Amino acid sequence: MIFNDIVRSISESGYMAMNSNLINMAVFSKTFDKVADVVLVVVNSNMTYNKEQLESIAFQIERKFLLKGSMKVNIQYVVMTDNIDRDKDMCTCGNASVWFADLLANRIISFENFNDEFKDLYSKLDDTLAMESGREIRESKKVDLRKIPFVTIGLFVVNMIVFLLVELNGSSYDTEYMLKCGAADWKLIFREHEYYRLVTCMFLHFGISHIANNMFSLLIVGKDVEKIYGRVRMLIIYFVSGIGASLVSAYVNMVQGQEVVSAGASGAIFGIIGAVVIGSLFESGEQVRNVRRVFILILIMALCGSGHVDNAAHAGGFLVGVAVSFIIMLIMNRKRAGMEEEHER
- pLDDT tens per residue, range 12-62: 988 998 887 888 889 999 988 889 999 999 888 777 788 888 888 888 888
Residue 157: what residue type? V
Whether 115 and 249 map to the same domain: the answer is no
314 is catalytic: yes
From 97, 172, 249, 266, active-site residue = 266
Whether 250 and 205 map to the same domain: the answer is yes
From 118, 142, 166, give the residue that closes a domain.
142
Note whether residue 345 is domain-resident: no
Whether 112 and 237 map to the same domain: the answer is no
Q: What's the sign of the alpha-carbon dihedral 206, 208, 210, 216?
A: positive
Return d(Cα 187, Cα 221) in angstroms, integer.
33
Whether 170 and 310 map to the same domain: the answer is yes
Q: Which CATH number do you get for residue 277?
A: 1.20.1540.10
Q: Evaluate whether 113 touches 91 at the Cβ level (below 8 Å).
A: yes
From 142, 170, 198, give the residue that closes a domain.
142
Note whether residue 289 is domain-resident: yes
Backbone phi and psi for residue 261, each to the nearest 5 degrees, phi listed first? -100, 120
- Asked if the model's pLDDT at residue 325 lies above 90, the reply is yes
Note whether residue 78 is domain-resident: yes
CA 146 remoteness from chain centre = 12
205 is catalytic: no
pTM of the prediction?
0.59
- pLDDT tens-digit readout, 56-106: 888 888 898 999 888 899 999 998 888 888 887 787 777 788 888 888 878
Quote the radius of gyration of the chain (alpha carbons, Å): 25
Return d(Cα 112, Cα 222) in angstroms, integer.
36
Note whether residue 38 is domain-resident: yes
Q: Count how many domains the chain has.
A: 2
Residues spanned by the domain of 293: 148-333
Whether 177 and 310 map to the same domain: the answer is yes
Residue 210: what residue type? H
Residue 305, pLDDT score: 56
Whether 306 and 157 map to the same domain: the answer is yes
Whether 238 and 176 map to the same domain: the answer is yes
- pLDDT tens-digit readout, 218-249: 998 898 888 889 899 999 999 999 999 999 99
Whether 135 and 275 map to the same domain: the answer is no
From 172, 210, 217, 314, active-site residue = 314
Whether 265 and 210 map to the same domain: the answer is yes
Whether 8 and 86 map to the same domain: the answer is yes
From 142, 171, 190, give the residue that closes a domain.
142
Note whether residue 292 is domain-resident: yes
Whether 154 and 86 map to the same domain: the answer is no
- Asked if the model's pLDDT at residue 307 lies above 60, the reply is no
Note whether residue 344 is domain-resident: no
Note whether residue 339 is domain-resident: no
Whether 138 and 154 map to the same domain: the answer is no
Residue 138, pLDDT score: 46
Tally Cβ neighbours within 10 Å of residue 334: 10
Note whether residue 33 is domain-resident: yes
Residue 124, pLDDT score: 87
Tally Cβ neighbours within 10 Å of residue 23: 13
Residue 250, pLDDT score: 95
